[in-house]
Amino acid sequence: MILKRLGMAGAMILMAGSVAHASVNKASWGKTAGGQAVEIFTLSNPELAVRITTFGARVVSIETPDRNGKTADVVLGYDNVAQYEADRDTYFGAIVGRYGNRIAKGTFSIDGQAFHVPTNNNGNSLHGGTVGFDHKVWTGREIANGVEMTLVSPDGDMGFPGTLTVHVRYTLEGKSLHLDYSATTTKPTVLNLTNHSYFNLAGNGKGTILDEVLTIPADRYTPVDAGLIPTSELATVAGTPFDFRKATVIGARIHDANEQLKLAGGYDHNFVLNGAPGVLHLAGEAYEPLSGRTLTVKTTEPGVQFYSGNFLNGTKPGKFGVVYSKHSGLCLETQHFPDSPNEPAFPTTVLRPGQTFHSETVFSFGVRN
């Protein structure tokens, strides 16, 4: 036996080495309507296979096994670049920015100077304006166990100040997909980056996520107004349908007579995580009982947006022609809070020259028997 000859220490070294390695393959993935070449990277190890495209630095697919070893793709998306480019609403799998989530009326100030971003969502700016990072072609570069995506957003892009250089590193480590974000700017700006993957742990196109079980370690959340802009309040989740501190079936309370649920058509709210910002901490756990698949999300961010796919309506056929109806996927978008540039009491999203923004998020997959 190899393990007997090496002893326990040697065995651990072998195991660590096998976990660390992932293969990385790059291929052409067509062109945008404007003629820009798009690439797709496939990251794979014995535990996971992930495809990431340079169009929007998007996660296109994540294949992971169920409790019986049967593999399925557990994220929503499309089959080609043209479909992603035509979709301005869902943000499937994309890195969104320069400011993920909403800015009220597309207006904010830094050091007394006002800035304006195009509005694209009920009179507000959503995910960076009319042409956000999700519709940019990033530069992809193979790195150890993954790919680094880079985007340079020029000064004035969508009204945001400063030339912003963003790097997002996707790497595979065992059963986990790690996202490492960094950014620098030439002028004071605001920044809120996240990944907008929609997960369905039963598999892409396998019904809704209403029977999945969710845990979010948050004592408070940020209620919203009719435009889904935070009201400034940090409200307690206790006694409300927003209390996911104990594992709860997503569909158990989603149709409750609750004004916040009515405003969003379900869950589309920022949760104030209990963990310390800047330190990797738990953001959420999801479990799909039939397949046994689990998803654990950890982050250094102060919040997570739980979105229950309320605005999916079956009008945009997805992979292999699958129809994505309401609640076909869930998002756990690690982030700073929505509209933080207009909320002085929220954690700041201002990035200044000489500073380097850094954030980490980890998506880990497993099974329960």
Rounded CA-CA distance 312/329 in Å is: 9
Q: Which residues contact 158 (CB under 8 A, 6 or more apart)?
A: 98, 117, 118, 128, 129, 130, 131, 132
Rounded CA-CA distance 330/293 in Å is: 14
Rounded CA-CA distance 320/303 in Å is: 34
The H or E element spanning position 15 is helix 2-20
The Cβ of residue 23 has, within 10 Å, a number of other Cβ atoms equal to: 11
The H or E element spanning position 10 is helix 2-20
Catalytic residues: 196, 333
SS3 40: strand
Rounded CA-CA distance 150/130 in Å is: 20
Which residue is it, tokens 């947006």? 305
**Antiparallel, parallel or unpaired: β 281-287 and 293-299:** antiparallel
Q: Going along 200-292, which residue ranges are E strands? A: 213-215, 218-222, 235-236, 248-249, 268-273, 281-287
The answer to whether 102 touches 338, Cβ cutoff 8 Å, is: yes
Query: What pairs with residue 331 in β-bridges?
Result: 307
Report phi then psi at 305, rounded to 5: -95, 115
Two tokens, residue 168: 């997002």
Among the listed residues 212, 233, 189, the one whose alpha carbon sits nearest the alpha carbon of residue 329 = 212
Two tokens, residue 14: 């072998």
Q: H/E/C letters for each residue in 51-72?
A: EEECECCEEEEEEEECCCCCEE
How would you class 269 by CB atoms within 10 Å of its CB: exposed for 0-12, middle for 13-18, buried for 19 or more?
A: buried
Rounded CA-CA distance 31/39 in Å is: 9
